[in-house]
Amino acid sequence: MTAQRNAPRPTLSAEGRRHRVAALAAVALLAMAAGCAVEVENTRPARQLAQQALPEGDVYIGWRVFQQKCASCHGATATGGATGPDLLPRLREMGSHQFIGLVLRRYDWILSAAESSPQGTAPSSTADKVLQGKDAALVMPAWQGDPTVTAHIIDLYAYLAARADGTQGSGRPAR
């Protein structure tokens, strides 16, 4: 048995070596071509792929909710109003989860300088003033308790994301 292991290998002729080198070169060329084909096929932008991974929202329904609940502050086209900022630049930088969290649970309080000082009024009186609309302002209400916004939050995101991406114009979306 050891004699078979130590037996000399047959040597390849020059022509056999050329065939082997040509075969290896062909395999390497095919591997490189396959790598290029994968690169050429991957032409869709990452943002488009991320959008496809999101739950589908209805842009038209989102527009209707926006007009009903948000347009009075943020303007009919979501580009800012008298009391609310332009939403489109912010939407370009956030995903659906962050948007949902901000809309459903976030309050921004703007207090006068006297009320924000440590010697200012008691927190309960400040809260009462905010709720009554005196001296301090409640800028962005949390919409968590609103059944329309809660039920259609992903539609609202779909509309605003489409506006921010430029795929939806400022007018009424198609049904």
CA distance 51 to 49: 5
What CATH number should be reported for the domain holding residue 62? 1.10.760.10
Q: Is the pLDDT of residue 37 over 70?
A: no
Helix or strand (DSSP H, E) at 32? helix 14-41
Query: How many CB atoms lie under 10 A from the CB of residue 8?
Result: 5
- Print the domain residue range for 111: 57-165
Q: Which of 35-44, 90-99, 146-155 has the lowest mean pLDDT?
A: 35-44
Question: Residue 93 corresponds to which tokens in the numbers above?
Answer: 């930088």
**Residue 139 or 103, more confident:** 103
Q: Is the pLDDT of residue 28 over 50?
A: yes
Is position 77 within any domain?
Answer: yes
Residue 125 and residue 86 share a domain: yes
Residue 68 and residue 30 share a domain: no
User: Does the pTM exceed 0.75?
Assistant: no
Helix or strand (DSSP H, E) at 127? helix 123-132
Q: Contact at 8 Å (CB) between 160 and 66?
A: yes
Residue 148 and residue 122 share a domain: yes
The pLDDT tens digits of the residues spanning 78-136 come to 999 878 889 999 999 988 888 988 888 865 545 444 444 344 445 455 455 545 554 54
* Mean of per-residue pLDDT scores for the chain: 76
Is position 68 within any domain?
Answer: yes
